[in-house]
């Protein structure tokens, strides 16, 4: 595992336990530094400590909607890359979240193709962050 990959932190903040576990296993196997949480306070703490550069966020998390949570997370770290992972987000909500600064919207992983889509979105997010480092 490369030193660069060790520094690439992913915060998984998804309400569905099975989905969280599935994504955590996938990214641990890929060599990423993973933080899994079911608490908004822990999510904010991980972002403030800069242990995560990419957040996989469900449409609802810890009694807050993604629309409420994304501006808060972006205030903690404006360079944070947020990937919305949701099968039930409406088109108007996705448009609003794009304006709030999500990087990508992926469907919740159900099969191998869905997992591959999320894996590629995360890879692209880290490439984007690397290209836009100050």
User: 133 pLDDT band (50/70/90 cuts)?
Assistant: confident
Q: What is the pLDDT of residue 1?
A: 42
Q: How many helices (H) and strands (E) does the chain have?
A: 6, 7
- pTM listed for this prediction: 0.90
The answer to whether the beta carbons of residues 55 and 13 sit under 8 Å apart is yes
User: 110 pLDDT band (50/70/90 cuts)?
Assistant: confident
Q: What is the pLDDT of residue 2?
A: 43
- Domains, the chain, with CATH or none: 3-131 (3.40.50.2300)
Q: What is the pLDDT of residue 125?
A: 96
pLDDT in tens, 32-87: 999 999 899 999 998 998 889 999 999 888 888 899 999 999 999 988 999 999 88
Is residue 88 pLDDT above 90, yes or no? no
The residues near 15 (Cβ < 8 Å, ≥ 6 apart) are 38, 58, 60, 61, 62
Q: Indicate the helix (H) or strand (E) that contains 23.
A: helix 17-29
Nearest to 39 by CA among 19, 11, 67, 18: 11
Is residue 6 pLDDT above 80, yes or no? no
Count CB atoms within 10 A of the CB of residue 60: 18
State the average pLDDT over residues 94-106: 91
- What does pLDDT average to over the chain? 88
As a whole-number percent, the residues of the chain with pLDDT over 90 amount to 52
CA dist 56 and 33 (Å) reads 13
């Amino acid at each position: 595992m490369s030193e660069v990959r060790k520094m690439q932190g992913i915060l998984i903040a998804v309400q569905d336990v099975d989905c969280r576990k599935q994504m955590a296993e996938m990214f641990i196997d890929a060599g990423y530094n993973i933080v899994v949480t079911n608490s908004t306070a822990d999510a904010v703490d991980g972002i403030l400590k800069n242990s995560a550069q990419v957040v996989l966020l469900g449409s609802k998390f810890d009694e807050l909607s993604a629309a409420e949570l994304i501006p808060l997370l972006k205030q903690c770290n404006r360079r944070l890359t947020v990937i919305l992972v949701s099968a039930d987000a409406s088109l108007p909500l996705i448009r609003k979240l794009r304006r709030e600064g999500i990087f990508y919207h992926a469907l919740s992983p159900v099969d191998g193709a869905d997992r591959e889509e999320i894996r590629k979105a995360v890879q692209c997010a880290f490439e984007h962050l690397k290209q836009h480092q100050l």
